[in-house]
Amino acid sequence: MTTATSPRPRTAGTHPASPYQSYVYAYPHKTAYRRLPERPLLRDLWAGEPKDALSLYLHIPFCEVRCGFCNLFTRIGAPDGLTGAYLDALDRQADAVREALGEQDGPRFATAAFGGGTPTFLTAAELERLCDIAEHRMGADLRAVPLSVEASPATATTDRLEVLAARGTTRLSLGVQSFDDTEARAAVRPQRRADVEAALGRVREARIPVLNIDLIYGIDGQTERTWLRSLDAALAWHPEELYLYPLYIRPLTGLGRRAPDTDPAWDEQRLRLYRLGRDHLLARGYTQRSMRMFRRADAPPQGADDYACQTDGMIGLGCGARSYTAGLHYSFDYAVGMHEIRGIIDDYVSRPAADFARAEYGRTVDTDEARRRHLIQSLLQADGFDTADYRTRFGSTPQDDFGTELSRFAERGWLADGGTRAPRLRLTPEGLAHSDAIGPELFSPAVRAAMAAYERK
């Protein structure tokens, strides 16, 4: 589950109004992208980029239902023939992108992921075709690199899981959110615990090495007791990873008709449940990798984990995917509303191959934005980062570039190991708890203004 919203206004130098400003899973966010008037050729964008360790992401914009909290780029269901037409377009796009990359021996991919939406909305035969596009069109050896796939309980069927396991999937992320049927309904996620447990059994039978379970805290009616019960239900399956997400209420979503998420009492509830969940997992042999991510201490290594989608050298295929070069992040148009999403998908499936040879929407990443992005993606991980690496890349220190912000974080008790001048910048446990306030404070004024000016659709 990957969701974001524009950060709320704040007064510089004051404590943020809420610890839940925005989940910064990508910077700059797509709401800061704009149509690129010259539509640059991908061939030119990638000409000088390293291509020996790329990341590949294939986006499937379909779900069987849309959860009340979800603002992902996805549509509910698919008319007859649409998934096939979408894969046809994905095939055409892959051909165009592969040609634009231009390496005689082909680019090399270090990681791959299928996201959405729900990739397992596709049938088993369509998943085979999706893997073929990644392997035969793009040249990614799915059995040789980490391959992560997102799934829902209803679509984690035996035949689909068999395909994914046989094609090299190393990680399966199951969006459960709650094992309590009442809470699931409150989050507008109709499911029964019995069906969730059956799906988890099928995932384990498929012997995919890493199982991740997503859970949400802050749902209406959720208590400390029911939260612990969901955590223990997940732990019974010994998942290699668990992601704990705070609930957000966002515009144009099923829960968006509620009052916006600015209630201090709700903030306190979410913080309380977060700390309870964190401590529960730490006491049971899990290590914390970020505010959201917890990994079992004996889990097999998976390569890059949280914020992996931040890395340069990202090739995204599909109408909801984004791609990253060092100087430009680009994608197709973005929307949350169902009508607009359907129009974007329909446009995507009708495009000729030549139309995929150019970037359409995006945002330039200059040196200042690259510094901000590096700091955000590094600081929000539990291990933090060595400031010498930052100096090697940028010729300055984080203190030189972000001294005001880092001093503010240190004053709040959010920086560990001596604060702003430490050779390694790392958040305290309380800093990690406030990751969704720290990230947005590091957004540039230009990105903040572009996000604020974005017209929701």
Asked whether residue 418 carries a pLDDT value surpassing 70, the answer given is: no
Q: State the sign of the Cα–Cα–Cα–Cα dihedral 177, 183, 185, 191.
A: positive
Average pLDDT score, the chain: 89
Pick the more confident residue, 122 or 14: 122
Q: Is 24 within 8 Å of 440 (Cβ atoms)?
A: yes
CA triple 85-108-305, angle to 5 deg: 85
- The SS3 assignment for 303 reads coil
| 388/375 Cα distance (integer angstroms) | 13
Q: For the residues of 328-353, what is the DSSP string, one character each?
A: EEEES----SHHHHHHHHHHHHT--G
**Cα separation, 403 vs 406, whole angstroms:** 5
pLDDT at 178: 95
Is 221 in a helix, a strand, or coil?
coil
| DSSP per residue, 362-390 | EEE--HHHHHHHHHHHHHTBTT-EEHHHH
Q: What is the pLDDT of residues 235-271, one digit of tens each?
A: 999 999 999 999 987 554 444 455 555 689 999 999 9
Q: How confident is the model at residue 66 (pLDDT cuts 50, 70, 90)?
A: low
- Spatial separation of the C-alpha atoms in residues 55 and 316, rounded to whole Å: 8
Pairing between β-strand 322-324 and β-strand 109-116 as defined by DSSP bridges = unpaired
* Model pTM score: 0.91
Q: What is the pLDDT of residues 283-293, one digit of tens each?
A: 999 999 999 99
Residue 4, CA atoms < 13 Å, CB-side half-sphere: 19
Confidence of residue 95 (pLDDT cuts 50, 70, 90): very high
Angle at 423 between CA 391 and CA 369, to 5 degrees: 40
Residue 10: predicted pLDDT: 40
Query: For residues 314 and 109, what is the distance between their CA atoms, to the nearest angstrom?
Result: 9
13 Ramachandran zone, left/alpha/beta (phi>0; psi -120 to 50)? left
Per domain, the residue ranges of the chain are: 30-309, 367-452
- Quick check: do 30-309 and 367-452 share a fold? no
Which residue has tokens 């993606």? 377
pLDDT higher than 50, residue 229? yes
Residue in 370, 398, 395 with CA at minimum distance from that of residue 386 = 398
Residue 280 pLDDT grade (very low, low, confident, very high; cuts 50, 70, 90): very high
Alpha-carbon span 119 to 367, nearest angstrom: 35
Instruction: Work out the average pLDDT over 410-432.
Output: 87
2: number of Cβ within 10 Å: 15
State pLDDT tens for residues 155-171.
999 999 999 999 999 99
DSSP string, 232-281: HHHHTT--SEEEEEE----TTSTTTTSPPS--HHHHHHHHHHHHHHHHHH
Higher pLDDT, 301 or 431: 431
Mean pLDDT of all residues in 65-82: 71
Residue type at 313 in one-letter notation = G
Q: How many residues does the chain have?
A: 457
Element (H, E) at 296: strand 293-296
Q: What's the CA angle centered on 304, arms 115 and 280, to 5 degrees?
A: 85
Domain 30-309 listed as CATH 3.40.718.10: no
Q: What is the CATH number of domain 367-452?
A: 1.10.10.920
Please say whether the beta carbons of 289 and 303 come within 8 A: no
Q: Is the pLDDT of residue 136 over 50?
A: yes
Helix (H) or strand (E) holding 402: helix 398-411
